[in-house]
Amino acid sequence: MNAPAIVDSHCHLDFETFEDERDEVIARARQAGVCRMVTISTRVTTFPKIRAIAEQYDDVFCSVGIHPHQAGEEPEVSVEELVALAEHPKVVGIGESGLDYFYDSAPRDAQRRSFTTHIRAAQETGLPLIVHARDADDDTADLLEAEYARKPYTGVLHCFSSGRRLAERALDIGFYVSLSGIITFKNAEDVRSTVRDVPLDRLLVETDSPYLAPVPKRGKRNEPAYVAHTHAALAGLRGLPEAEMAGLTTRNFFRLFSRVPVPADLDLDGAA
């Protein structure tokens, strides 16, 4: 590759909307320069399907975990069970897990128990924790910090749309911040303001597809290829050439998701 490739660090390829054209979706992502995709677990009960998708495609990897929306209905898994599932070589992260007080789809005590279990699985495996946070900034940061004091670990605030203080507190314990199509939305100036101050070596990009398609695809079903639009918006926001931003975010991805192999034809050291 003459220029650094880009990565979709968070998508949901197991969702029904992709069922009939997954091959085509992944082919379009490759055409757009996406060299790695991480398809994210939201339910442990559907993890076998997620793992099978990752096994089917060389450039697709996965996580294992329970979304906070499902924390009240999925079986309560133990740290040991998550650690065992994460032994598979295609599993590169723990989650997504976290706290969502906007929808409150699960009781908050169940969300907090599940989140703690996921944090401890990340601590045990050394894999990054993938954090979902919505309208729960203080509780999320408090729990992340308390567990970090118990035993250090790393992770990412995925699909960042929270307040500046959560970003600062997560960055202080070594976390990364992943940006979705939200940064292209007209009403997201608060998010863009925070993103302008995130250190360049802590930025990732994602789609969270099939949700949150970036401008100019807003209103359509999102897919991994569209991460290129989010990436271009981020480069513009930070005042960097797209090739330089690609080098930065791709290096950041492989540093955080260290179990993911770097493509043989991708020279990270020589990237801009």
- pLDDT at res. 269: 73
Q: Residue 52 is part of a domain; what is its CATH number?
A: 3.20.20.140
Q: If you average pLDDT over residues 14-28, what whole number do you get?
A: 98
Kindly state whether residue 16 falls inside one of the protein's structural domains: yes
Q: Is the residue at 112 inside a domain?
A: yes
The string of pLDDT tens digits covering residues 38-74 is 999 999 999 999 999 999 999 999 999 999 999 999 9
What band does 267 get if pLDDT is binned at 50, 70 and 90?
A: confident
Is position 219 within any domain?
yes
Please report whether residue 267 resides in a domain.
no
In terms of C-beta distances under 8 Å and separation of at least 24 residues, what long-range contacts does 81-88 make, across chains too? 81/44, 82/44, 82/117, 82/118, 82/121, 82/125, 83/121, 83/124, 83/125, 85/44, 85/47, 86/121, 86/125, 86/127, 88/51
* 261 domain residue, yes or no: no
Question: Does a structural domain hold residue 230?
Answer: yes
Q: Residues 228-260: pLDDT tens digits?
A: 999 999 999 999 999 999 999 999 999 999 999
In this prediction, residue 175 carries a pLDDT of: 98
How does pLDDT run across 66-114, given as a tens digit for each residue?
999 999 999 999 999 999 999 999 999 999 999 999 999 999 999 999 9
Q: Is residue 236 part of a domain?
A: yes
Residue 74's domain comprises: 6-256
Domain count along the chain? 1
265 found inside a domain: no
